[in-house]
Structure 1
Amino acid sequence: MAQRHAVVVGGGIGGLSAAIGLHRVGWRVTVYERAAAFDAIGAGISLWPNAQRALGELGVHPPLAPQRGGGLRTARGRRLARWDAAAFERRNGLPLGVVHRADLIETLCAELPASSLRAGVTVTSVSPDGLVRHDGGEVRADLVVAADGIRSPVRQAFWPSSRLAYSGGTAFRGVARLPEPQQLSTTWARGTEVGVLPLLDGRVYWWVSEAVPEGIRHADARAYLSAAYAGWHAPIPALIASTPEILHHDVFQLATPLPTFTRGRVALLGDAAHAMPPFLGQGGCQAIEDAVVLAAAMSTSDTVAAALTRYDAERRPRSQHVAQASIRAGAAGPLLRNRVALAIRNSVLRLAPSSVTSMVGGDINAWSPPSLPQPQASEPPTNPAS
């Protein structure tokens, strides 16, 4: 029997994870990435226990920084809640981990054969029967995985009524290096969140989320942030001042859930399927879950059609549930602007026992991946491709 071939459109976290899973269960995989290299535009990413289990099933072990302490604060530094990392780890079996996106992409690429990674290729169309056209020709695949991001051309072609909606928040992100060690912190003010997550090797990933109208831009993001957050507690001003490059983008989500993640031989995955706001830190985590479930379905189903039916049945309800939970988390946290509601929320947080933080994520973190078969002998992995 001829080896089945999958084309993955998009070489981000979800696409590469899907390629690894399919390669592990015996498929030949080709990943088309539009950018000139497989690298990451971004800063850090939090990998919650559910995603860490999924990566473990894929045999992938990125350089994670476990978050062992810290908590939730006001802008002046007053503690609202302590992060009970020990209780969280006892409850979930794993700590919250953080990794730089570039390090995660490098780790994922290293698990794939060099022949699978095709950078600098733009996919121009995908057909339900598996025909993929790109700027260098065309190929027919047994499976097409559309992991082409939040503005997915494949999703838009197959579900033209789907649209993105502004989440209500804009985000600044960066990675800095400070001389002294840092701890996890999340800081809430009216319509604002600032997050601080230490990475390995003394680096710190930080973000600022602001509830503002869509499209607001600043001629100098650093100057704006330095002035706006000058009076906030340490290390926030120092992080802003020390960051070589500050990214700024508005945050979008799918306006309405898709009725299905599949069409013919095509499966949507990650942001293409369930773009969500970042208020639970689950966007990338859900993409990794998608990847493991897709590979498991392909390894145990008689046909691609049956496997995709299983994939849709397992992934669509869960990922759409997480997306809605993330929207609710944003409304009660970073996007909350009503002063009375803010006062009530903060009072409740101060009175709650620290063990409450171990329940963050609840049933989301409890998820475990399906088992994949042992790797088959094939072309050895390579170093990250460019």
Structure 2
Amino acid sequence: MKKKIWIGIGVAALIIIMIGVSAYRTAFAKPLAVEVMEVKQEKISSTLMVPGTLELQEEQNVFPSPELGKVEEILVEVGQQVKKGDVLVRFDDSQLVLEIEQNKISVESGYLRINQLQKQKEHLDSRKKDLSEQIGKKEAEKQLAAEYDQNEMELRLANLDLKQTLLQKEALEERVKDFELISLVEGTVLAVNENATELVTEVQEPLVQVGSLHSMIATGSLSEYDVLKVSNGQKVTIKSDVLPNEEWQGEIIDVASVPQNTGLANPMENQAVQFPIIVQINDGIQLKPGFQLIMEIETEEKEGLVIFSEAVVYEDDKSFVYLVNDGIAHKQEIEIGLTSGERMEVVEGLKAEDTIVLNPSDKVSDGMEVTLE
């Protein structure tokens, strides 16, 4: 019996000690230190994330052409700067070369024939002078009239033939230009493929590729659900995994009115409809054509109450923050509107200049006393 009494006394003492410790902690424990932010009225925009590819805005590819014949010469090299109109590739046409040589002979022959007829006329003039002294001017003209007429007719025909030959020469010179492919853009020679001079290949590679490295675009595609949210002039932030700390600005310059052709044989087959878009990059970009990009398209912008996503706690499909008033944390349900990266619009539940807890830990609870860091 005595033993039981002592056990009871011990238990009661332990309980008293635990209550005392708890009371001490409550009385003397320091409030939990928390990091906070102020709710502000700011501009916020919703964004649409779209994968993209970096491409040259101005680009020209020169391919072999069966109509032009074999490649005679590639006149540029990689890295060379070219202007519009510079000859890039010259093609060989043996038949045209033969026609040009024949025309040269015809032109030379025409000039020789005219020169010969002019000398004949000079000879007639000399004979006419001698005869005029012997038999008189009128009689001399009468005797030589037929020869003068013949010389004049032949000289006129020779001039007509030469004129026609010279016109043929001009036409041949124009045809020569057809066998010279010129640059249509001002830029840099990006590739020269000497092995692409053969005319018959399954996958034809360009002989020469020219493009402007100072003018780049990003291309991508939008689903039928997203395409109605995007229009020309909308701002775009461009990022790349290759340079994670860099970003570039751009804007939408083209949204396709019709979806791109997927090439599926069965048009009745279910397929995701995609609408191509083009983004003009405003800044210089340190990437090469073909690099993969992430495009954040700003689809809507408005003024609203803005907080950081790290302040939000989610429970049972509801969103909460801890609102701090007079050193006490109060759990507050909120309604979220637009989101842009780590920024969120609060549609309901807060007002401007409210103070909320950032990164609330499990130690933060409703009604808890807190101190601001």
TM-score band by shorter chain is under 0.3
**Structure showing greater Rg:** 2
TM-score of the superposition, structure 2-length normalised? 0.19
TM-score by length of 1: 0.19
